[in-house]
Structure 1
């Protein structure tokens, strides 16, 4: 005989109750997972803010270090393209006179540079030179010489006379850090491509002027800043 309808209804209600209980548990699990996900999202947002702040601090510190590094070179001039007599020659001269090779060698570089500049009508007073020595360079008999002046005005005065070296293949430039030298190099390349009007350095800062605009010169602190003018 078939079971009474009342028992069937009771079983159906029991099944529905079990289903509802199961769904309630599932919903609770979903809500718990959703809460966990939301907490993780908030944590990620907070970490992103912290990372952005750390990136800003890092950029600031890197710029400060770069500025300090450049400041130590503020009174320097790099002379390139000048033929300097070999050290062995200078030492032979010092040996004949019984002097200290290193001292006379340093003076020899300074005297050679000063003599060449003066031969081109450039006024340079050796009393204003604090140090003068050669740097390693890639050319064969040509070298690079660093001249450090006692103050910035003497360096600036010499740089202003650099136009007198036109055609000599000898150049006077500020002693830039690698970072600023890379910026200056890219700016010169962009000028050659006529993407900017002109570029120059003053007090070891790289300046550019844009094409067809009356705007004032822009200071370029990062090489990425030049990308928007490509």
Structure 2
């Protein structure tokens, strides 16, 4: 008959076995914890890489946007002016020899120049590199006309006379990219809501004047529509 073990000894052995199992569990947990921490570190590094990549993409998009806008720097968009196509003018005049044939040779730039001259705005046709109507928008039967000047000096000279068109439905505007057009639209909305004092476009840059005293009413150039959120 085997001798009976001391209860205290049995209790110590039970505790030792329990500690061994616990130690194994702790080691397993530690191993899993190390793997989790490693995964967390990898995810953090991936997030950093994604943020850096997104930043580079944004910078590249900005450069492309700036280049696109710069390519339009000599353009003027004329809105509200109806231009008769030369083919239409030719068809109208071809039926009668008694009618004047001046419309037949009246190009788009000549028609624009003639209208501006009627408002005492001088436009040297020779300073225009290209002129043609833009595709019509669904809600507008009068297509806009784009004028591309040989140099910026000629463009600025015409734009400065734009105030003489007051009272007509014709306007002269810079040829903005979609992003800048959206910024200008948002700025005009803020002005109507009296959130800013004024806004304008000059040389394809959007300016705003803040509300407040002369010291507070700073003039800012807005390059990102997100920059306008603080004034909403």
Task: Please indicate, yes or no, whether the TM-score normalized by the shorter chain is above 0.5.
Answer: yes
The answer to whether the 8 A contact 2:86-2:106 is kept is: no
Cα RMSD after superposing both structures: 2.3
The answer on 1:161 being equivalent to 2:140 is no
Q: CA deviation at 1:155?
A: 0.6
TM-score by length of 2: 0.87
Gaps of 5+ in 1: 97-103
Deviation at 1:42, TM superposition (A): 1.4
1:63 offset after TM fit, Å? 0.3
Partner of 1:122: 121
Please tell me whether the aligned partners of residues 196 and 210 of structure 1 are also in contact (alpha carbons under 8 angstroms): yes
Moved over 4 A (4+): 93-96, 104-107
Which residue of the other structure, out of 203, 212, 226, is the alignment partner of 1:224?
226
1:3-24 Cα distance to aligned partner (Å, 9 max, x none): 6343x44433332222111001
Matches within 5 A, 1:150-189: 150-189=150-189
Q: Which residue of 2 aligns with 1:101?
A: none
Q: Which residue of 1 aligns with 2:99?
A: none
> Alignment partner of 2:144: what SS?
strand
Going from structure 1 to structure 2, the CA distance change for 1:57 and 1:107 (only over 3 Å counts) comes to farther
Decide which structure has greater helix share. 1
Deviation per CA, 1:168-204: give whole Å up to 9, x if none: 1100000001110011011011101110010011111
Distance 1:155 1:94, change over 3 A: farther
Residue 21 of structure 1 corresponds to which residue in structure 2? 20
Q: What's the TM-score once normalised by structure 1's chain length? A: 0.88
Distance 1:26 1:124 in 2: 88
- How far apart, in 2, do the equivalents of 1:194 and 1:168 lie? 26
How many residues matched? 221
Partner Cα separation in structure 2 for residue 10 and residue 83 of structure 1: 108
CA contact (8 A) 2:175 2:204 kept: yes
